[in-house]
Copies of this chain bind each other. A is one copy, B any other.
Amino acid sequence: MRGKKDMMSGDDIRNAGLKVTLPRVKILALLEQSEQGHVSAEDVYKLLLDAGEEIGLATIYRVLTQFESAGLVTRHHFEGGQSVFELDRGEHHDHIVCIKCGRVEEFFDQTIEDRQQEIAKEKGFSVEAHALTIYGYCKDPACRAS
Which residues of A line the B interface, CB within 8 A? 77, 79, 96, 98-99, 105, 107, 109, 111-112, 115-116, 119-120, 123-139, 144-145
Asked if B132 and A145 make an inter-chain contact with CB atoms under 8 angstroms apart, the answer reads no
- Given known contacts A77-B79, A112-B115, A129-B135, what 5 new A-B pairs fall within 8 Å (CB)? A105-B125, A120-B134, A125-B139, A130-B133, A131-B133
A115 partner residues in chain B, CB cutoff 8 A: 109, 111-112
Asked if A135 and B139 make an inter-chain contact with CB atoms under 8 angstroms apart, the answer reads no
The answer for the CA separation of A132 and B132 in the assembled complex, in Å, is 4
Asked if A131 and B132 make an inter-chain contact with CB atoms under 8 angstroms apart, the answer reads yes
Partner of A135, one of B98, B119, B128: B128
Q: Which residue of B lies closest to A134 (CB)?
A: B130
